[in-house]
Amino acid sequence: MSLNEFQSEWMPRFDDYLYSELDACVPAQENLHKAMAYSLMGGGKRIRPLLVLATLSLADGEITDGFAAAAALEYIHTYSLIHDDLPAMDNDDYRRGRLTLHKVFGESTAILAGDALLTAAFEILAESTAISADKKIKLIGLLAKASGPNGMIAGQMDDVEGEKKALTIEELKQVHEKKTGALIRYAVTAGCLVAEADEPFTTEMEEFSRHLGLAYQIHNDLKDVVLDEAETGKTIHHDAALNKNTYPSLLGVSGAIQELNSVIGQAEGCLDRVALSYSGAEDKIDVFRQLMDYVRI
């Protein structure tokens, strides 16, 4: 099955679930509902939910059993973008070509809608009827750890503090492991947990997710530099890129591309080993292989 086929088959059904959970969580407060919906429907690529569901499929689990974990993850991801865009944080007016939430609904509503999505994520998991209490508790504990003060939020704090100083490449990796890597890893772990995958499979796929997360970040940094160059005609080493802690600024553009290719190679190695070790995996693993195309330069 190709990535396109998997997306066409599952993502519209998942989106229906995502929005129905929104109606269940916020039946009464109209503007809060509107604000949460604005961000949830903001044209995100749903990479994290896709990873949950594709991992479940690869592990021969029931895909709909992962809807709650996938929706909770997308709620957490969405809240983190809303709060990141606030004037006191990155102060971004646009995201994915649309005005950011606080530009449309005001800052107080954006703060509250972010808080609401964060809280609703745990409600969705707790209320799911598809999985056992034991699994739900594990998923909730892991999600809180991945997104909380020792995971994503620690990475965001490191990032805020890191803006004032130069990081080494190892420090930069650690920031990203927490800031973006922890949620990507959670996607894969949640899929394995719901499907009751065995330990070697889970370990290999978590290793894959670490490489994917890192590749995603390097690709993102490179894209900014390359796009900027193409659009503005400035040299690559302009001030903004140099003063920020990014892979191109620390490794140079060709060094960063080399690093990206090396990381993609390691991710593909994980996929090869899974395809070899599990019967039936070869057919389903194309979804993951094609996902890697998103991060190639």
Chain residues binding a second copy by CB under 8 A are 25-29, 31-33, 36, 79, 83, 86-89, 106-109, 111-112, 114-116, 118-120, 122-123, 125-127, 133-134, 136-138, 140-141, 143-145, 147-150, 153-154, 156-158, 160-161
Smallest distance from a second copy to CB 113, Å: 8
Q: In 3-state terms, what secondary structure has residue 94?
A: strand
Smallest distance from a second copy to CB 13, Å: 24
φ, ψ (nearest 5 deg) of residue 130: -85, -20
Indicate the residue among 38 and 278 with the shorter CB distance to a second copy.
Answer: 38
H helices present in the chain, as ranges: 3-25, 30-40, 47-58, 67-85, 101-105, 107-127, 133-147, 152-162, 169-176, 182-195, 199-232, 239-243, 247-251, 253-277, 281-284, 286-291
Indicate the residue among 79 and 288 with the shorter CB distance to a second copy.
Answer: 79
Kindly report the CA angle at 3 between 144 and 123, in degrees rounded to 5? 25
Smallest distance from a second copy to CB 71, Å: 13
Alpha-carbon gap, residue 130 to 74, rounded angstroms: 18
Indicate the residue among 84 and 286 with the shorter CB distance to a second copy.
Answer: 84
Smallest distance from a second copy to CB 18, Å: 15
Indicate the residue among 137 and 242 with the shorter CB distance to a second copy.
Answer: 137
Q: In 3-state terms, what secondary structure has residue 197?
A: coil
Smallest distance from a second copy to CB 27, Å: 6
Q: Of the candidates 273, 265, 291, which has an alpha carbon nearest to the alpha carbon of residue 51? A: 291
- Both tokens of 37, joined, read 């919906």
Indicate the residue among 20 and 150 with the shorter CB distance to a second copy.
Answer: 150
